[in-house]
């Protein structure tokens, strides 16, 4: 029997061309594995396409709920955002995909896993670090880095290669955006976006919603409920987290929420420009942040911001399966014990506008915050506090050191 390789398969032109390439150069039986993280209709017709391309078997693994519950929600709880803007949509999908690829490889007795990520991107790092952490004995094949055998440099080359190997599928040679989609987001790269001087062609680009200019003239109120930092209800209706995100995607897309244009620093050292649509995720992150500011004490909230930055870096760099990510998540989970309550806001032309936050664990005290004097606060106490708090500054000034 031939040895087997598990191919991370999307059904697109790249991974279709990889099937005959693997058979030709490695003499493997190719087991295709498509991981469903919420790509929608991109999965239609995959089984027939994989078999026509020469695969011996196709797995379609539905991991949407696992993806949301075990990867997305912990990242939301951490408030992890990469470089202040990117909500990590592609990043945290890669470890769950890699985990399933390893599971299929073990089930099939495969000796290798192959992915179609390019040699310039982050995904090669994310896939391979995850595979190494979970299955260090498996060989990893990355065709785009195999300069001696992978000669294709364009879509036209790949189409011709497929035809030469008896695969005549309706692929188009037209240039389009490079996209990655899951339940959390869709990313867009390429075409006019390759030059940061160009404004994005939103009419041509957007998939999940509309630009703020084309959003309705009337805003829409939305209420989200959380229990221990986990979203549990949308507008009073109990739902699992994945369904909440589906509904929020529709609402956010309708009102032009969650569109960002960013130049980010890739792991491999270069800057890249992309437009990300994350309508539901943007709403969820903002609602969680609003609830936390009502509940967490000052020191915990401040330290959690440091943890959020490091957590985002680890996710972006593909270091999900590491002791540090696990330790940081344990800290985050401890902070979520009382993050329970309800957040109301209005969606209007790309904006998420606060409309009231409540929690049984709120640390906000109206009697303390009010301009009227309450029982717990004596204005005269502030004088001694200020004297001690600013003592070092006063001593420095007395020494005449402040003018240097």
Does 154 lie in the same domain as 264? no
Q: Which residues contact 69 (CB under 8 A, 6 or more apart)?
A: 241, 242
Does 353 lie in the same domain as 278? yes
pLDDT confidence bin for 176, thresholds 50/70/90: confident
Does 272 lie in the same domain as 337? yes
Strand ranges, E, within 76-229: 112-114, 139-141, 178-181, 186-189, 220-227
Q: Does residue 239 lie in a domain region?
A: yes
Q: Does residue 259 lie in a domain region?
A: yes
Does 339 lie in the same domain as 201? yes
Q: Does residue 26 lie in a domain region?
A: yes
Does 208 lie in the same domain as 258? yes
Does 237 lie in the same domain as 90? no
Q: Which of 29, 36, 123, 180 is catalytic?
A: 123
Residue 123: active-site member: yes
**Phi-psi region at 213: left, alpha or beta (left = phi > 0; alpha = psi -120 to 50):** alpha
Lowest mean pLDDT among 14-28, 34-48, 67-81, 97-111: 34-48
pLDDT score recorded for residue 43: 84
Edge-to-edge strands, sheet with 178-181: 178-181, 186-189, 271-277, 259-265
Cα–Cα distance for residue pair 193/211, rounded to 1 Å: 16
Q: Which residues contact 398 (CB under 8 A, 6 or more apart)?
A: none
Of 124, 141, 164, which one is at a domain's C-terminal end? 164
Q: Which residue has the higher pLDDT, 368 or 128?
A: 128
Neighbours of 351 (CB within 10 A): 14
pLDDT score recorded for residue 377: 79
pLDDT in tens, 221-267: 999 999 999 999 999 999 999 999 999 999 999 999 999 999 999 99
Q: Which of 10, 36, 94, 181 is catalytic?
A: 94
pLDDT score recorded for residue 372: 66
pTM, whole model, 2 decimals? 0.94
Does 99 lie in the same domain as 210? no
Task: Calculate mean pLDDT across residues 273-280.
Answer: 98
Task: Calculate mean pLDDT across residues 99-119.
Answer: 97
What the block records as the tokens of 209 is 């919603």
Q: Which of 62, 178, 211, 246 is catalytic?
A: 178
For residue 402, pLDDT over 80 is answered with: no
Of 107, 130, 164, which one is at a domain's C-terminal end? 164
Cα–Cα distance for residue pair 311/91, rounded to 1 Å: 12
CB 186 within 8 A of CB 208: yes
Does 234 lie in the same domain as 109? no
Q: Which residue has the higher pLDDT, 354 or 377?
A: 354
pLDDT score recorded for residue 23: 96
In CATH, what number is assigned to the domain containing residue 50?
A: 3.40.50.620
Number of domains comprising the chain:
3
> Burial level of 254, CB count in 10 A (0-12/13-18/19+)?
middle
Cα–Cα distance for residue pair 252/301, rounded to 1 Å: 27
Residue 27: active-site member: no
Q: Is 226 helix (H, G, I), strand (E, B) or coil?
A: strand
Q: Does residue 400 lie in a domain region?
A: no
For residue 404, pLDDT over 60 is answered with: no
pLDDT in tens, 286-295: 999 999 999 9
Range of 127's domain? 4-74+85-164
In CATH, what number is assigned to the domain containing residue 258?
A: 3.90.1260.10
pLDDT score recorded for residue 373: 60
CB 273 within 8 A of CB 194: yes
Neighbours of 225 (CB within 10 A): 22
Does 15 lie in the same domain as 137? yes
Cα–Cα distance for residue pair 167/242, rounded to 1 Å: 37
Q: Does residue 169 lie in a domain region?
A: no
pLDDT in tens, 130-162: 999 999 999 999 999 999 999 999 889 999 999
For residue 403, pLDDT over 70 is answered with: no
pLDDT confidence bin for 369, thresholds 50/70/90: confident
Does 193 lie in the same domain as 119? no
Taking CA atoms, 389 is separated from 2, 299, 384, 392, in Å, by: 74, 17, 8, 8
Q: Does residue 402 lie in a domain region?
A: no
pLDDT in tens, 333-349: 999 999 999 999 999 99
Residue 195: active-site member: no
Residue 14: active-site member: yes
pLDDT score recorded for residue 368: 75
CB 199 within 8 A of CB 306: no
Dihedrals phi, psi of 395, to nearest 5 degrees = -60, -40
Dihedrals phi, psi of 38, to nearest 5 degrees = 105, 35
For residue 13, pLDDT over 70 is answered with: yes
Cα–Cα distance for residue pair 315/106, rounded to 1 Å: 25
Does 267 lie in the same domain as 389? no
Does 118 lie in the same domain as 90? yes
pLDDT in tens, 353-362: 999 999 999 9
**CA 238, 241, 244: angle at the middle one, nearest 5?**
70
For residue 172, pLDDT over 90 is answered with: no
For residue 180, pLDDT over 60 is answered with: yes
CB 231 within 8 A of CB 225: yes
The overall average pLDDT reported for the chain is 95
Q: Does residue 13 lie in a domain region?
A: yes
pLDDT in tens, 26-39: 999 999 999 999 99
Q: Does residue 227 lie in a domain region?
A: yes
Of 164, 194, 226, which one is at a domain's C-terminal end? 164
């Amino acid at each position: 029997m031939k040895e087997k390789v598990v191919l991370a398969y999307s059904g697109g032109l790249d991974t279709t061309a990889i099937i005959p390439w693997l058979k030709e150069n490695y003499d493997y039986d190719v087991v295709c594995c498509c991981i469903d993280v919420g790509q929608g209709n991109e999965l239609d017709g995959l089984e027939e396409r994989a078999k026509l391309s020469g695969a011996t078997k196709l797995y379609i693994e539905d991991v949407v709920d696992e993806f949301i519950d075990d990867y997305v929600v912990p990242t939301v709880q951490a408030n992890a955002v990469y470089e202040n803007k990117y909500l990590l949509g592609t990043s945290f999908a890669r470890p769950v995909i890699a985990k399933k690829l390893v599971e299929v490889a073990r089930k099939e007795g495969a000796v290798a896993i192959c992915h179609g990520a390019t040699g310039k991107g982050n995904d090669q790092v994310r896939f391979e670090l995850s595979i190494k952490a979970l299955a260090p004995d498996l060989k990893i094949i990355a065709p785009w880095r195999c300069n001696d055998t992978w000669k294709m440099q364009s879509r036209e080359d790949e189409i011709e290669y497929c035809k030469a190997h008896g695969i005549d599928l309706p692929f188009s040679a037209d240039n389009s955006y490079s996209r990655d989609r899951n339940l959390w987001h869709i990313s867009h790269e390429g075409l006019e976006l390759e030059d940061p001087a160009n404004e994005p062609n939103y009419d041509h680009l957007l998939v999940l919603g509309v630009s703020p200019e084309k959003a309705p003239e009337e805003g829409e109120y939305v209420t989200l409920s959380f229990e221990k930092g986990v979203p549990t209800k949308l507008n009073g209706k109990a739902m699992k987290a994945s369904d909440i995100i589906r509904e929020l995607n529709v609402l956010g897309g309708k009102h032009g929420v969650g569109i960002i244009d960013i130049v980010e620093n890739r792991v491999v050292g270069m800057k890249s420009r992309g437009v990300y649509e994350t309508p539901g995720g943007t709403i969820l992150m903002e609602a969680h942040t609003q609830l936390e500011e009502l509940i967490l004490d000052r020191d915990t909230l401040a330290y959690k911001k440091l943890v959020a930055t490091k957590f985002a870096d680890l996710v972006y760099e593909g270091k999900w399966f590491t002791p540090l990510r696990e330790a940081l998540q344990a800290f985050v989970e401890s902070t979520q014990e009382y993050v329970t309550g309800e957040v109301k806001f209005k969606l209007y032309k790309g904006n998420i506008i606060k409309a009231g936050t409540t929690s049984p664990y709120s640390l906000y005290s109206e009697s303390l915050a009010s301009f009227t004097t309450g029982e717990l606060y004596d204005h005269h106490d502030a004088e001694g506090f200020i004297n001690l708090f600013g003592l070092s500054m006063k001593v420095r000034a007395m020494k005449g050191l402040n003018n240097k």
